[in-house]
Amino acid sequence: MIVPIRIIGIVGAICWIILIAFSVSAIYSMKDIQFSLGQPQIRIIENSELLFSFPLSLTNTGFYDLRHFNLSTGVTNKDGTEVARGFTLIPFIAQGETINATHDMKLNATALLDSNQDLLLNDSELRVNETVIMNAAEVVPIQASSYLSVPWGAPLYNLMVSTPEALVYNATHLLTSIKFSFENHAFFGFTGSLRIRMYSDPEVPIGGGQTTIEASPRSPYFGNLEIYTASSTLSRVHIEVLLTTRFFKYGPLEIFYGS
């Protein structure tokens, strides 16, 4: 039997309508997907990397099963350089099912701060790009992206070094006290070594010292370093400040005193 071409065209149109309606309903059902990321747990792993573990909850209250749910998160600094990335793949989520998982991201604080020294001293923002890709009802691909900014706290915010204060020691030497302070606005604490070298004009070393600091996250820090100097005067000197931690190095910061 020969089927008229007009009937074939009508059947084809109906098939397209059904396919379009099916795709639209699958996409529409995505509004009922409940997706959330919780507050991360942060811990230090090898090579001075920070591991962020976000609790991930996904409830499929749409009309269809979901396959190949892929969450990709990238973090960039203000000039667009990527500093962290994470992936999470959930192969299958049945209609009506709730999945709890963990979304992990690694951030190398050393690499970030070495290439962005400004982030050591000044609070800033990092940009987060989050992309979700999934298949609904086996065949309909769906992708959604979002962008947001998250605050970055500087570990050495408002770093200040006092004028060297000379205390009498003996006829040929002085005991010099130098106070320093900063606010650790970062979400991580750090332990490090702070060194100060002191010079008189012209570039003659007259003393130096070193101390250990332990800065808690989101807390102020106050320290003092005492140095024995081989000079009887501090009228014209300058110092170099160097700070070394597991996550970053800072300095030398040069400060000049006197005229």
The reply to whether 37-152 and 157-257 are identical in fold is yes
Cα–Cα distance between 33 and 135 in angstroms, integer?
13
User: Spelled out in words, what is the top-level CATH class assigned to the domain 37-152?
Assistant: mainly beta
- The domain defined by 157-257 carries CATH number 2.60.40.10: yes
pLDDT tens, per residue, the chain with 259 residues:
444 444 333 433 433 433 433 334 444 445 557 777 777 777 777 766 778 788 888 888 877 788 888 888 888 877 777 878 888 888 988 888 888 988 888 877 777 777 778 888 999 888 888 888 877 766 667 777 777 777 888 999 999 999 888 876 676 778 889 999 999 998 888 899 999 998 886 678 888 899 999 999 999 999 999 988 876 666 778 899 999 988 888 888 898 887 5
Name the nearest CA neighbour of 196 among 183, 214, 213.
Answer: 213
Strand order across the beta sheet in which 190-200 lies: 204-215, 190-200, 237-245, 249-257
Cα–Cα distance between 24 and 37 in angstroms, integer?
27
Cα–Cα distance between 258 and 198 in angstroms, integer?
13
Contact status, residue 199 vs residue 207, Cβ threshold 8 Å: no
- Strand pairing class (190-200; 237-245): antiparallel
pTM above 0.85, yes or no: no
Where does 201-245 show beta strands of DSSP type E?
A: 204-215, 219-229, 237-245
Summarize the chain as % helix, strand, coil (round to 5). Answer: 15, 60, 25
Give the SS3 label for residue 211. strand
Give the SS3 label for residue 27. helix
Domain boundaries defined on the chain: 37-152, 157-257
